[in-house]
Structure 1
Amino acid sequence: MSQVENTQIRIDDLTLLITKPGQLRVIRRDGELAQYDDHRIIAAIKKAFLAVEGENAGNSDRIQEIATQLARNITERFKTRWPDGATIQLESIQDLVELELMRAGEHQVARTYVLYREKRREARKALENQVVEKPIHVILSDGTRKKLDRHILSNLAVDACQGLNDVSPTQIIEDARKNLFDGVAMNDVYKALVMSARALVENEPNYSYVTSRLLLQDIYREALTALNVPHDLSQQTMHILYPKAFAAFIQQGIQHELLNPNLREFDLEKLGKAIDVSRDQQFTYLSIQTLYDRYFIHRHEKRIELPQIFFMRVAMGLAHCEGKDRDARAIEFYQLLSSFDYLSSTPTLFNAGTMRPQLSSCYLTTIPDCLDGIYGALKDNALLSKFAGGLGNDWTPVRAMGAYIKGTNGKSLGVVPFLNVANATAVAVNQGGKRKGAVCAYLETWHLDIEEFLELRKNTGDDRRRTHDMNTANWVPDLFMKRVFNKENWTLFSPDETKDLHDLYGDAFEKRYCEYEEKARKKEIRSKTLPAINLWRKMLTMLFETGHPWITFKDPCNLRSPQQHMGVIHSSNLCTEITLNTKSNEEIAVCNLGSINLVNHMKNGKLDAIKLQKTIKTAVRMLDNVIDINYYSVPAAKNSNLKHRPIGLGLMGFQDTLYLQNIAYASHEAVEFADRCMETIGYYAVQASSELAIERGTYESYKNSLWDQGILPIDSIALLKKTRGDEFLKQNTSATMDWDSLRKQVKKHGMRNSNVMAIAPTATISNIAGVSQSIEPTYQNLYVKSNLSGEFTVVNPYLVHDLKQCGLWDQVMIHDLKYFNGSVQQIDRIPAELKIKYATSFEIDPAWLVEAGSRRQKWIDQSQSLNLYMAQPSGKKLDELYRLAWIRGLKTTYYLRSLGATSTEKATISDDKLNAVQVGIVAPKACAIDNPDCEACQ
């Protein structure tokens, strides 16, 4: 055999290896494919070290070891990201080399490597005009090979950029060509356009809309093909195709038992005509990718749902109970959802219109003190979690360690072993195949097992007495806080000997607690006494170290509850915004959530009260419908929901509205706006529920409620103050709207819903709407968000706009923002007023968050998911902050977010790749700001 033939065989073998499924491949700069080889990475890293340390370092074992380890890290990152193989651009590998050198602390070597890359880049640029571009052939889905029509790329890029400022279709096409090679699949050509637009988001936020529109073309092709709708996107518009796709979706969805057959009862032609195709243009990249990955209905891994069909499906699912008005109501609901004026919570978006319409967000249960009851409650947890419900479990009734067990004449191991089982159940039950189950366990502060409960999330100790995947929260009575302030002792009891204590609050609790303390002094019951301040310090220490347990306050939740005539609130929910009564084996509290997009209700820099009133009226109706349509997997949940009909109307985009008004979060103006906007929402929410009561009747347990007594949420502050006294409650009670007339209306017509307001975290639905989360301050002005859908560059568009106005938005500014982790505080050329306006969550004194939360709380009949941020916590700071939260009348708090020595997520300088460096955040493992595992309330 000749040398030429030998060479040919080796080349063919290499080609087979490169194109073998599951392999990592590299696109060289000449467009050719090459085999991924980490030895080349090792060589490149060693060269960078030699450039710094000299040629004598060439034989250093240290350098060889470092280079090998860094190369291994890079390879593992690629394999983790693309377990099925991928084609990687050479620049992406070099980006990771920079990143790993920085992570390893080799800053000088990394800088040398960056300079070398820049030098090589300039050299290539100088030769660009001399290079003759080779023709590229593409492989179509049927295997046909044809020359790439570059006009297709141009048309797609131009259409995607239409109507957007400061974006360039030419730039997108040029960058996309770098990722193309001869023989590339046509689908990968489309992906190259998406990836090139995505890489430009950090330069100009509008590229997020461009990326979304390019991705939509892929989604259109996939869904229309799966629905067997003939299409040619280059010749037909989606205005023609959408109604056809909608009709096909309903037909096939019912046929394949994905959709509820009752959707046939709608006038599909009428609804199809109501679809507004132009609203597909309003999605950001993050929002459309999130919808595609987790919300759109699919069959055999192929999406059969398009964005506007998705919103119409949800609207139909919520309007089916409207009788002969169902078509008109479905269109009304669709208009609200598709405009992003209001969005239902994730379970509703997941399941509305499907065979199992589990639409409710939150479930609260009380665990009884018996084996049958405990395991029955765990079964309920599994069934409720199965269809995407978030859980709050009250474990206080379960007897403490060492308590006597009459049936076996033995002693109890306490509540902790059962919590470990609950933790395992949450992990085992996958929520509809979309995310892990999520649960929070609550324990009242006088429980004898409280000290061990505080340590459940520690990484050390006996793993059988740890719950690494379950959230925990303290249920704190006012008496404990008073004793902390007064530096008095606190006594712990076992609930089997103090059975009524958990069902008492206010003065009745205090009286009974003191009686039990007297019994304890006489040794009539088991107890443990310790300084209240010591237990308080341990609570704060664990909160800082593990992010748990959260701190929630029992008495304000109960004393201000409209439903105190029907029982006791024993805990909050998974995200601490729901405060509803529970009763063992009888009532599982259920709440149904949705959030108003405040940004869409701003007009000329002010809140548009007229539009807000209209939105809230429809939103309350939608939430009330959820109660009747909902699929209940547990009878006790159905019993509770139909009896009390609670809903939780919240908000999102609060930080964005401050930007629109040129208001800093850390300001009295922001606190005042928090007050006024929540007053407006609260007023119209109560009004809407009362008007609905005229049409549909009051909820079953309305009589003797606070509503029935003419006591509105703002009035209930007086009930709390009466018990606490002026010394321990300092909460603003100012009002600006005509509440007297609303009291009369409620007194006359009643309420359709026992509770109407709750502010959820909205982490996911705010992504869909493209606004800031809930009531959260800005996390960082430039960072990379990681979730189940991938990594997304997040740039503060308001900051970019203001910097453009000042002539300061350029590449240097982008690099500065990356270097300073999205903070503007250390960038000298940014004006002082913008530094105040664009302070991020860890740069704001958390007391401002408490003050704003207090103003909102006075209007809310339930609670709010209030995260608190502290860059450098100390015992003194935490003590002051949580005392302030109690004094200001907050019902609950959520996570304490704190930073380590370095920042949370560092955006790395990159031409065409999105990177995030995770560095030392002291935060819990579950339910993080951008963690999709906790979406029940989102």
Structure 2
Amino acid sequence: MEAAAVPPARHDPNTAEIGTFSTPSPLRLPDYGLEVIRRNRAIAAFQPEKIAIAITKAFLAVEGQHSVNSARIREQVAQLTASVVDALTRRLPGGGTVHIEDIQDQVELALMRSGAHDVARAYVLYREKHAEQRAAQQPLENAAPILHVDDGGHRRPLDSSAFIALCREACTGLSDVDAERVWAQTLPNLYDGMPLAAVRQALVLAARTLIEAEPDYAKVAARLLLSNLRQEATGQPLTQADMAERYADCFAEFLAAGVAAELLDKRLLEFDLPRLGRALQAERDLQFDYLGLQTLYDRYFLNVEGRRIELPQCFFMRVAMGLALNEIDRETKAIEFYQVLSSFDFMCSTPTLFNSGTRHPQLSSCYLTTVSDDLDGIYQSIKENALLQKYAGGLGNDWTPVRALGSRIKGTNGHSQGVIPFLKVVNDTAVAVNQGGKRKGAVCAYLENWHLDFEEFLELRKNTGDERRRAHDMNTAAWVSDLFMQRVRSNGDWTLFSPVDVPDLHDLYGGAFAEAYQAYEAKAERGEIKLYKRVGAVQLWRKMLTMLFETGHPWITFKDACNLRSPQQHAGVIHSSNLCTEITLNTSADETAVCNLGSVNLPAHLVERDGVWQLDADKLQRTIATAMRMLDNVIDINFYATVKARNANLRHRPVGLGMMGFSDCLHKLGVSYASPEALEFADRSAEMLCYYAYRASADLAEQRGRYSSFVGSLWQQGVLPPDTLARLIETRGDLGVAASGQLDWHALRERIAQVGMRNSNCVAIAPTATIANIVGVSASIEPVYQNLYVKSNLSGEFTVVNAALVRELKALDLWDAVMVADLKYFDGSLAAIERVPETIKARYATAFEIEPEWLIEAAARRQKWIDQSQSLNLYVAAPTGSKLDRLYRLAWQRGLKTTYYLRTLGATAMEKTGDGGEPAAKVCSITDPDCEACQ
């Protein structure tokens, strides 16, 4: 293998024997099936140790000979090498070829990401110098060598014209893309005798490398991948024009193959397949960006022995058919469902996309459980976790009832070991059950912060301490009462109890909780409760925030806001949220709460009228009506791994309709996230989403009947979610959130009073980490992370460029190679790029450049309309104790029900200072916090 280029060392090469450098053991990596294309097109074995040597030489060139003997440098070299190898193998998980230049690109990227910018700069300059030397030395008369391809064992000359034609088809209808440029980018990665399939894949990878310079190459790469997918699925090199005629036939063939392979429900063959086939719209295949289609290819499309048997429109129709199985006119409804999915107006959650129409239709996203205080109940809960995770469910476990460390066990006359050892088992179960290899098992444990084990619970994710009492792979969340927050505000004391001594606290909230809690404190003071601990409320609050900053956990969620505003107060108590903190449903020892998710694509519902972008209310209402019907169907079709989940879901029928693409809407509106206009849009969009969702549920109730626990609910009492804001105001005072709306809520109350509700809960805004990738919009309600960055997930690494920003910069003639380089250097931030107008900088400020208070204020506007909650990440560039204190107190004061990840800048972030003196480098201290278990 040709070693990565390195700059010449600033010392005597005769005294700097790199061979004396001992490669650390972590670099002795296994054979990944990769081969390297050298510049002379020869093929060599992939040898990671040569990457380590090249990186070491780069450090030698900048830091001198002494760096070889530095433990810090050795460790950094090992980490950088592992990072480069990991990036290459994620891109080619099944093995393949990689060009030497690609390896050097990855080395350069790794050096930049690590903060070794001087080394990276010298490395880049050296590469450029030697590229110029090679170009000057190459004889002009040298013709390109004649290449051959291996076509199933038949060697034949490479037909360049056919591949250029393929590139041209992929570029059709797109601006600022060039088929010849894609082919030119491909050629260096070809070698003589290369398999034909590998050449086609090289086209995709070549187009992918151009995305950073022109976002439309993401569609070019997707279309080239689509061509490969058609070849794989049908065995024929079908063009886009061919598919307009062939899709219907392919659809029937794929369904038959799926049933024969015992993957699909045989009832799908009972549909009118010719009618459904005629409804497929081949042109919708062209909507995909590369990230979206590659994600579907890798993780969603059904395969038989590794060969995909689905094309995109077949996939969407299969999902639609699975959701229409119980419909009377199932073909009509399947086509209706297909239309909203394939147009990207709405997207079901990942479990539904995975499993709809299959023989195991586990379509629900989230499961919430309460763990009982006995050994049988604890291990039954762990078993149920495994069963629910097996089919792609994300879990939230309420562990508050389990007695604390030191509590007496009557059956054995011993003492309990508390909650922590059992959470270690939960953690390892989540790791062991990985959802069929499609994604990792995921669980979040919730504990009320009066539990005597709570202080140790805070430390579960620490990297120090007794490993037997650590859980590094699971999530944790604190379930916090208003009484505690009031004690923090008044600098009072707080008492920790074992739940076996205070059994009713678990099911109490609001004023009833405060009264009972204070009574127990009095009993402890009198000596009637022996096992308790008194701490300062502020002291405990500080420890919560400290652990949140250091480990990312536990998330902070608010018990009273969840329960006081719950429409299902008559039917039980909310004891926790879910894995992603957007679901707030009742749980008990007898009921496992279940929620079925899907999200509306907000940008698809924007229309321009009289030069102003606005949400199309009529289209939004139609989309939501169809989406709610799809989500309601999930409840009856779903495969339930446990009886408790089935009973609860059929009794209450909750669903969680959400939104995605919020930031994309702001870009179209020309609005900064940190602005009153953005708060107004958050308010109005959430009101419309919720109003039409509640209206659709009422319409379904008229057609299908009310959910069985409707009587006694707030719905039945005429109290709708925005009305419940007053209940929180009664206990907290003014929340600072205006209760006014623009839609006719009075008419909706009358409608619900007349016909009831089909679903106990209707709206929850999930993270949409994966389905937003599929659709090609910004995730959920998130601000833009960076305007140019590389996203890593289970499908590999993908360049993501803010296409809206590129369009604006092009209009100002500012989009060029220098701008790309600047964005890469400043980690996707515009703040330090002087030639960009301030108005554009404000509109395209990245997540860490927006004061997090704006995220909370926008969330508060949404929360007043929502009957459940929302996954709210908070970004804090330079966290301090006082800043986090103010931030999370504000979240409580504004009436938020839950918060999600706290994302902060890592200590290794490079201080690239902009005009305001703020650090512009963005390095998240939490590893890829996007939740993929819900969406």
- How far apart, in 2, do the equivalents of 1:732 and 1:68 lie? 54
2:333 aligns with one of 329, 335, 342 = 329
Matched with 2:463 is 459
1:377 aligns with one of 364, 378, 381 = 381
2:790 aligns with one of 762, 779, 784 = 784
The alignment status of 1:632 with 2:640, answered yes or no, reads: yes
In the alignment, is the contact (CA less than 8 A) between 1:617 and 1:688 conserved in 2? yes
- How far apart, in 1, do the equivalents of 2:695 and 2:754 lie? 12
The alignment status of 1:937 with 2:917, answered yes or no, reads: no
- How far apart, in 1, do the equivalents of 2:560 and 2:719 lie? 17
Shift of 1:331: 0.2
In the alignment, is the contact (CA less than 8 A) between 2:298 and 2:795 conserved in 1? yes
**What TM-score results when the alignment is normalised by the length of structure 1?**
0.91
In the alignment, is the contact (CA less than 8 A) between 2:52 and 2:81 conserved in 1? no
Shift of 1:804: 0.6
In the alignment, is the contact (CA less than 8 A) between 2:406 and 2:418 conserved in 1? yes
1:607 aligns with one of 602, 612, 615 = 615
1:649 aligns with one of 643, 646, 657 = 657
The alignment status of 1:78 with 2:89, answered yes or no, reads: no
2:307 aligns with one of 302, 309, 331 = 302
Shift of 1:377: 1.0
1:119 aligns with one of 126, 129, 153 = 129
The alignment status of 1:92 with 2:102, answered yes or no, reads: yes
Matched with 2:161 is 151
In the alignment, is the contact (CA less than 8 A) between 2:84 and 2:110 conserved in 1? no
In the alignment, is the contact (CA less than 8 A) between 1:763 and 1:929 conserved in 2? no
SS of residue matched to 1:715: helix
Matched with 2:244 is 239
Distance verdict in 2 for CA 1:278–1:105, change over 3 Å: closer
- How far apart, in 1, do the equivalents of 2:34 and 2:264 lie? 40
Matched with 2:544 is 539
SS of residue matched to 1:286: helix
In the alignment, is the contact (CA less than 8 A) between 2:115 and 2:909 conserved in 1? no
In the alignment, is the contact (CA less than 8 A) between 1:594 and 1:623 conserved in 2? yes
In the alignment, is the contact (CA less than 8 A) between 2:876 and 2:904 conserved in 1? yes
In the alignment, is the contact (CA less than 8 A) between 1:872 and 1:900 conserved in 2? no
In the alignment, is the contact (CA less than 8 A) between 1:70 and 1:101 conserved in 2? no
Residues paired across the two proteins, number? 890
Matched with 1:852 is 858
Distance verdict in 2 for CA 1:854–1:234, change over 3 Å: closer
The alignment status of 1:137 with 2:143, answered yes or no, reads: no
Shift of 1:734: 1.5
Shift of 1:137: 0.9
Matched with 2:391 is 387
2:925 aligns with one of 922, 925, 931 = 922
- How far apart, in 1, do the equivalents of 2:845 and 2:221 lie? 28
Alignment of 1:722-737 (within 5 A): 722-726=730-734, 729-737=735-743
The alignment status of 1:404 with 2:408, answered yes or no, reads: yes
1:18-65 Cα deviation digits (max 9, x unpaired): xx9966533232323345567876886687678779xxx899965999
In the alignment, is the contact (CA less than 8 A) between 2:901 and 2:929 conserved in 1? no
Shift of 1:132: 1.0
Matched with 1:221 is 231
- How far apart, in 1, do the equivalents of 2:74 and 2:453 lie? 50
SS of residue matched to 2:579: coil
SS of residue matched to 1:356: coil
The alignment status of 1:799 with 2:805, answered yes or no, reads: yes
The alignment status of 1:197 with 2:200, answered yes or no, reads: no
- How far apart, in 1, do the equivalents of 2:245 and 2:229 lie? 16
Alignment of 1:199-348 (within 5 A): 199-225=209-235, 231-233=236-238, 237-323=242-328, 325-348=329-352
Residue identity in the other structure for 1:616:
I
Residue identity in the other structure for 1:378:
I
C-alpha RMSD over aligned residues: 2.5
Shift of 1:570: 0.7
- How far apart, in 1, do the equivalents of 2:70 and 2:471 lie? 42
1:219-255 Cα deviation digits (max 9, x unpaired): 1111113xxxxx3426970122211111111112112
1:831-880 Cα deviation digits (max 9, x unpaired): 00011111111110000000000000000000000011101100000000
- How far apart, in 2, do the equivalents of 1:91 and 1:318 lie? 47
Distance verdict in 2 for CA 1:808–1:148, change over 3 Å: same
* Identity %, equivalent residues: 61
In the alignment, is the contact (CA less than 8 A) between 1:21 and 1:85 conserved in 2? no
- How far apart, in 1, do the equivalents of 2:856 and 2:31 lie? 54
SS of residue matched to 1:701: coil
In the alignment, is the contact (CA less than 8 A) between 1:23 and 1:86 conserved in 2? yes
The alignment status of 1:663 with 2:667, answered yes or no, reads: no
- How far apart, in 2, do the equivalents of 1:575 and 1:589 lie? 14
Alignment of 1:50-61 (within 5 A): none
SS of residue matched to 2:407: strand
Matched with 1:717 is 725
Residue identity in the other structure for 2:149:
V
Shift of 1:73: 5.4
The alignment status of 1:509 with 2:503, answered yes or no, reads: no
Residue identity in the other structure for 2:130:
R
Shift of 1:382: 1.0
Shift of 1:529: 1.1
- How far apart, in 2, do the equivalents of 1:65 and 1:433 lie? 36
In the alignment, is the contact (CA less than 8 A) between 1:21 and 1:84 conserved in 2? no
In the alignment, is the contact (CA less than 8 A) between 1:45 and 1:67 conserved in 2? no
Residue identity in the other structure for 2:208:
R
Gaps in structure 1 of 5+ consecutive residues = 1-19, 226-230, 907-917
SS of residue matched to 1:786: strand
In the alignment, is the contact (CA less than 8 A) between 2:240 and 2:282 conserved in 1? no
1:681-728 Cα deviation digits (max 9, x unpaired): 1111111100111100110000010000000000011112223334xx
In the alignment, is the contact (CA less than 8 A) between 1:361 and 1:390 conserved in 2? yes
1:448-483 Cα deviation digits (max 9, x unpaired): 111111111111111111111110000001111111
The alignment status of 1:690 with 2:713, answered yes or no, reads: no
Distance verdict in 2 for CA 1:47–1:582, change over 3 Å: closer
Shift of 1:901: 3.4
Shift of 1:438: 0.7
- How far apart, in 1, do the equivalents of 2:72 and 2:571 lie? 68
SS of residue matched to 1:808: coil
The alignment status of 1:551 with 2:562, answered yes or no, reads: no
SS of residue matched to 1:118: helix
Distance verdict in 2 for CA 1:299–1:896, change over 3 Å: same
- How far apart, in 1, do the equivalents of 2:482 and 2:112 lie? 49
**What TM-score results when the alignment is normalised by the length of structure 2?**
0.91
- How far apart, in 1, do the equivalents of 2:55 and 2:549 lie? 39
Alignment of 1:819-838 (within 5 A): 819-838=825-844
1:726-761 Cα deviation digits (max 9, x unpaired): 4xx333211111111111111111101000000000
Matched with 2:916 is none
Residue identity in the other structure for 2:462:
K
Shift of 1:78: 3.3
Residue identity in the other structure for 1:341:
D
Distance verdict in 2 for CA 1:743–1:296, change over 3 Å: same
Alignment of 1:451-600 (within 5 A): 451-525=455-529, 526-584=531-589, 586-600=590-604
Residue identity in the other structure for 2:934:
C
Distance verdict in 2 for CA 1:124–1:873, change over 3 Å: same
In the alignment, is the contact (CA less than 8 A) between 1:38 and 1:71 conserved in 2? no
- How far apart, in 2, do the equivalents of 1:450 and 1:683 lie? 39
